[in-house]
Amino acid sequence: MAEPSSSRAVAPPSLKDAAWLQRPETRCVFAALTGDGIETRAVGGAVRNTLLGRDVSEVDLATTALPKTVMTMARKAGLKAVPTGIAHGTVTVVVDGESFEVTTLRRDVETFGRHATIAFTEDWTEDAQRRDFTLNALYADADGTLYDPLGGYDDLITGRVRFIGEADERIKEDYLRILRYFRFNAYYGKDGLDPAGLAACVRQHAGLAKLSAERVAGELRRILIAPRAFAAVKALFDYGLLSGVLSAAPRLDRLSRLIAIEEGLSRAPDPALRLAALSVFVREDAPRLAARFKLSNAEQAVLALGADDGLDGELPDEDTAKRLLYRLGPDRFALQVLLAWAGSDAAPDDSDWREALTLPARWEAPVFPLRGPDVTALGNLKGPEIGALLRAVEQAWIDGGFAETREKLLERAKAHMAKASAS
């Protein structure tokens, strides 16, 4: 431990065996950004997750070099350097297709949301102090030595998410930290929420309204798929923050049941599905939430399943399930069944619902045998009439259990046309 912060019986481990630290790409970027009095250390998620034995998805670096120097040193080593956020000290260095965000040590002189007036520094403790939580202010150098200027290691191990400095002030600098507080608790928290941080989040919650939709949605997605997602959502609800975030009255029970069902199936969580369970009741909720959070069309299509027009919380019989599978396709069928199951009274390990979920593995939806030209060949029809006729015949085919042949369906089409011209 290079910079002791508190006395403890057991020394924190070295990170030297971490796979990401051993990788040639990481060694290369460390080598490029070391020397001439320049020090570079990994910070944030990579350090935090390594200490907990969890996966590391990206490596962020902090350096004493000024951004321009980072650019020069990286290019001298033959690496690509992109000035992604150079005004705030961030340069992206690319090694063999892998990106590293390298940020110069800084202190925030004045912060307003994302935008801060900053000053570069060579003081690691100052850099640590501008970060949000103690467990996010852990650094590791190229040798794997851990640096812990603010006592974050103890907090990480005991699962305490603590604001650095005075919580109210830190939240007022950037209200996203309220949601980050719940998110980090959902991933790393152990014995409940730190009361000082929680009280500050509650006091400052009105500031959430100032955040951009994208930033809120980004945090919400991550909270919803966290290991302790439900505890975090429940806490947001209990302390009166959730309805402001969602602009809707939530349905906690359906979310909790969906999580239990997914866990029972060892199914990877889908943030849009969980949001649907939590906050979509009627069809109109889906486009409203999608617009509010600027969600993708694919996410909106999943949200729409929350209204559960298909099953209404009832276990489908085989025919109903087939019709649903035909209409939704296998992926959305599974999501719709999961939501209906979560909205029902059935147990999270109910065997009938499990069986219903496996339909796509047992039955492949047939393709409707008629196409536009089949009915245009039957007579003089205009565009919209062709569509309407096809839909009517298709519906009859679905209602009949997809059994009727092409010939039978053509007869049906003819009969429809005869009826239409007679009336």
Residue 60 binds ligand ATP (CB under 6 A): yes
Instruction: Give the pair of three-digit tokens for residue 383.
Output: 């565009």
SS3 413: helix
State in angstroms the smallest separation of the CB of 89 from Mg ion. Answer: 15
State in angstroms the smallest separation of the CB of 410 from ligand ATP. Answer: 58
27 and 120 Cβ atoms separated by less than 8 Å: no
What letter does residue 86 receive in the DSSP assignment? G
Of 402, 395, 391, the C-alpha closest to 367 is 402
Instruction: Give the pair of three-digit tokens for residue 74.
Output: 């990286």
Which region holds residue 97: left if phi is over 0, alpha if psi is between -120 and 50, else beta? Answer: left
Range in contact with ligand ATP (rule: CB under 6 A) among 16-24, 175-183, 305-313, 365-373: 175-183
Residue 257 binds ligand ATP (CB under 6 A): no
Range in contact with ligand ATP (rule: CB under 6 A) among 142-150, 169-177, 227-235, 331-339: 169-177
| CB of 101 or CB of 394, closer to ligand ATP | 101
DSSP string, 250-290: --HHHHHHHHHHHHHTTPPP-HHHHHHHHH--STTHHHHHH
On the 0-12 / 13-18 / 19+ scale of CB atoms within 10 A, 292 is: middle
Q: Cβ neighbours of residue 185 under 8 Å, at least 6 residues apart?
A: 161, 193, 228, 231, 232, 235
Range in contact with Mg ion (rule: CB under 5 A) among 36-44, 128-136, 141-149, 289-297: 36-44
Residue 50 binds Mg ion (CB under 5 A): no
State in angstroms the smallest separation of the CB of 63 from Mg ion. Answer: 15
Q: How many residues bind Mg ion (CB under 5 A)?
A: 3
Range in contact with ligand ATP (rule: CB under 6 A) among 79-87, 116-124, 172-180, 273-281: 172-180
State in angstroms the smallest separation of the CB of 43 from Mg ion. Answer: 9
| CB of 174 or CB of 285, closer to ligand ATP | 174
Residue 45 binds Mg ion (CB under 5 A): yes
Residue selected from 21, 28, 45, 198 as contacting ligand ATP according to rule CB under 6 A: 45
Per-residue x/- mask for ligand ATP, residues 112 to 151, rule CB under 6 A?
Answer: -------------------xx---xx--------------
Residue 67 binds ligand ATP (CB under 6 A): no
Q: Which residue is nearest to Mg ion (CB)?
A: 45
| CB of 219 or CB of 285, closer to ligand ATP | 219
How far is 356 from 323, CA to CA, in rounded Å? 13
322 binds, among Mg ion, ligand ATP, none (CB under 5 to 8 A by kind): none
Of 131, 130, 73, 70, the C-alpha closest to 101 is 70
What letter does residue 332 receive in the DSSP assignment? H
| CB of 44 or CB of 189, closer to ligand ATP | 44
DSSP string, 15-69: -TT-HHHHSHHHHHHHHHT-BTTB-EEEETHHHHHHHTT------EEEESS-HHH
- Binding residues for Mg ion, per CB under 5 A? 44-45, 60
- Binding residues for ligand ATP, per CB under 6 A? 44-45, 58, 60, 131-132, 136-137, 174, 176-177, 180
